[in-house]
Amino acid sequence: MKLGKLAAWVLFYAFDARNGAAFAQRVERWGYDAIWIPEAHGRDPLIGASWILANTTMLKVAIGVANIYARDSLATVNAQYALAEQSADRFLLGVGVSHIPLVEGLRGHKFEKPIAACKRNIEMTPLCKIEVTLPRVPGSRGLRRGGVVDEQAGVQPS
């Protein structure tokens, strides 16, 4: 993904759904390339990103940053894959540690050294592609669901 030079950093959780969509559409019409939204408190930024992406056609959405103390690494990477796929790669995920008052005061976690905490989180993140395995139906040669699953050849188009 290539980001342009003009972007807006927005506290998107301050908007309700209708006004958030309208604001994102206005930003897109003004020629902005991207909206950056943080994770702090209030509404979930990944859900906000999904809403922006669903209500715009060209605008990119970046999370800056998704707090590693707010969700586990598998949930984070799964959300990233889904949002990128649903938006034709208009979603960019940034992860980080946030700030001590939010991590310890608001969330009740112990704030760790930032580089070590991020490194551990990234190492726990599975670097894998999405694969779908359809179950084999006993007594048949495969399962038909828009394609034929053959144990030897994999999924073949019908």
pLDDT of residue 109: 86
Report the C-alpha gap between 138 and 158 in whole angstroms: 21
pLDDT of residue 136: 55
Residue 123 and residue 143 in one domain: no
90, part of any domain: yes
Residue 114 and residue 144 in one domain: no
For residue 122, the enclosing domain spans 7-127
| Helix (H) or strand (E) segment spanning residue 83 | helix 73-86
Contact 91, 80 (CB under 8 A): yes
Collect the ranges in the chain with pLDDT lower than 70.
126-158
Residue 23 and residue 77 in one domain: yes
pLDDT of residue 92: 93
1, part of any domain: no
Residue 122 and residue 140 in one domain: no
Residue 111 and residue 75 in one domain: yes
Residue 98 and residue 157 in one domain: no
> What is the pTM for the complete model shown?
0.74
CATH code where residue 41 lies? 3.20.20.30
| Total Cβ atoms within 10 A of residue 129 | 6
How many domains does the structure of the chain reveal?
A: 2
pLDDT of residue 142: 43
Residue 148 and residue 105 in one domain: no
Residue 77 and residue 151 in one domain: no
pLDDT of residue 126: 65
116, part of any domain: yes
2, part of any domain: no
